């Protein structure tokens, strides 16, 4: 049985949309990339169980590529699309429940700014750092998103995941998630459905003041809503990736329709004629140039998804 057959079987049981060849570009902040071979936007945990059942009833084995998509603010999807199953955590997973005086459960697709504002209204501190991060709770757990010396690891108690190997829902405690700097041990076969977070009561005006300061700082130093995926590289130990890219003289450097932001050298901004391959080539070209110049090997924070052509030669142009 092919992926198409599994999709047809899934469409009979799932409540949420199931599509073959759905375009993914509009689901990412870069607004780039091709279609998903099979796309599911689960209407709830029942649809994840239906997905598991459809896969186990078909010949589609555990080697089929799976991509879990949140708000697409940290991914670059190939122009050729994704040759497997894309599970987009959509509206059904957007919720916030108060479960104790300072603790909450947030659904995987809940936007981080919404969550930060929810906490601020209840005089709860710990999520201020997230007010300007355009991702979702699921993506933030997977990436251990953070800023301004805060991160998800410091407020997370546990996550509820759907495990595509055991085909069951289970709870994973924070200490088992291997959370590090912009990383965790979660894979695309462990779908975060919700997160249990613990915050701290604090003076609401202090919380608001911190959030306002963080928003102002972003507005002044980052290219904001332009097509990008935030920081392109993680910071190497003891240094800043943006500082290195800028020191290599690469602000404004471009490949095709993508350029290094003039405002922040670790943000790579696409124009309307850009391709995902342009982003890939620019990232690898900049990485090579920084290595040649400073001997530092930058590691991408953005995640490339699907097939890309390896970069063979320097190809950029100075601005």
Ligand X SMILES: Cc1cc2nc3c(=O)[nH]c(=O)nc-3n(C[C@H](O)[C@H](O)[C@H](O)COP(=O)(O)OP(=O)(O)OC[C@H]3O[C@@H](n4cnc5c(N)ncnc54)[C@H](O)[C@@H]3O)c2cc1C
Q: At 175, which helix (H) or strand (E)?
A: none
Degrees to nearest 5, angle at CA 200 with 195 and 205 = 120
CA 50/CA 63 separation, integer angstroms: 19
CA 40/CA 132 separation, integer angstroms: 28
The first and second tokens of residue 60, run together, are 């589609």
**Whose Cβ is closer to ligand X: residue 229's or residue 286's?**
229
The first and second tokens of residue 145, run together, are 């998103």
Q: Which of 105, 231, 254, 259 is catalytic?
A: 231
**Whose Cβ is closer to ligand X: residue 135's or residue 316's?**
135
Nearest to 169 by CA among 140, 185, 190, 188: 190
The answer to whether 177 and 161 are in contact (CB under 8 A) is no
**Whose Cβ is closer to ligand X: residue 158's or residue 228's?**
228
Per-position DSSP letters for 140-168, written without gaps between them: HHHHT-EETTEEGGGTEEEEEEEETTTTE
Residue 254 pairs in a beta bridge with 259, 317
**Whose Cβ is closer to ligand X: residue 42's or residue 289's?**
42
How near is the Cβ of 313 to ligand X at its closest, in Å? Answer: 29
170 catalytic residue (yes or no): no
Please enumerate in sequence order all residues whose Cβ is within 8 A of that of 230, keeping only pairs 6 or more positions apart, or say none.
73, 74, 133, 134, 222, 267, 301, 302
CA 157/CA 88 separation, integer angstroms: 24
319 catalytic residue (yes or no): no
CA 231/CA 238 separation, integer angstroms: 16
**Whose Cβ is closer to ligand X: residue 215's or residue 293's?**
215
Q: At 183, which helix (H) or strand (E)?
A: none
Q: Which of 80, 182, 208, 218 is catalytic?
A: 182
How near is the Cβ of 69 to ligand X at its closest, in Å? Answer: 5
142 catalytic residue (yes or no): no
How near is the Cβ of 250 to ligand X at its closest, in Å? Answer: 19
**Whose Cβ is closer to ligand X: residue 84's or residue 135's?**
135
Residues that bind ligand X (CB under 6 A): 29, 67-75, 89, 108, 133-136, 138-140, 142-143, 145-147, 182, 186, 188, 191-192, 222, 228-230, 303
CA 130/CA 147 separation, integer angstroms: 7
For the annotated catalytic residues, the residue numbers are: 182, 231, 301
């Amino acid at each position: 049985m092919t992926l198409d057959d599994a999709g047809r079987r899934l469409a009979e049981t799932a409540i949420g949309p199931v599509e073959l060849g759905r375009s993914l570009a509009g689901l990412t902040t870069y607004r780039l990339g091709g279609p998903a071979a099979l796309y599911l936007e689960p209407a709830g945990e029942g649809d994840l169980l239906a997905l598991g059942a459809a896969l186990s009833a078909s010949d589609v084995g555990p080697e089929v590529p799976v991509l879990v998509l949140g708000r697409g603010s940290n991914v670059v999807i190939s122009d050729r699309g994704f040759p497997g199953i894309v599970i987009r955590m959509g509206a059904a997973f957007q919720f916030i429940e108060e479960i104790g005086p300072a603790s909450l459960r947030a659904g995987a697709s809940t936007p981080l700014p919404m969550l930060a504002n929810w906490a601020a209204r209840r005089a709860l501190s710990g999520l201020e750092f997230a007010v300007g991060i355009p991702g979702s709770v699921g993506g933030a757990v997977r990436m251990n998103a953070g800023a301004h010396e805060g991160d998800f690891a410091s407020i997370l108690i546990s996550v509820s995941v759907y495990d595509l190997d055991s085909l069951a829902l289970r709870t994973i405690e924070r200490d088992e998630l291997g959370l590090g700097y912009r990383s965790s041990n979660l894979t695309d076969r462990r779908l975060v459905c919700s997160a249990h977070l613990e915050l701290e009561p604090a003076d609401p005006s202090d919380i608001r003041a911190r959030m306002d300061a963080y928003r102002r700082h972003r507005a002044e130093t980052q290219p904001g809503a332009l097509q990008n995926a935030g920081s392109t590289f993680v910071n190497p130990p003891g240094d800043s990736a943006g500082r290195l890219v800028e020191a290599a003289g690469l602000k404004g450097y471009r490949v095709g329709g993508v350029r290094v932001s003039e405002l922040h050298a670790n943000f790579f901004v696409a124009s309307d004629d850009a391709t995902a391959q342009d982003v890939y080539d620019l990232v690898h070209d900049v990485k090579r140039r920084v290595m040649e110049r400073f001997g530092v090997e930058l590691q991408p924070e953005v995640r490339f998804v699907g097939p890309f052509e390896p970069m063979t030669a320097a190809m950029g142009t100075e601005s």
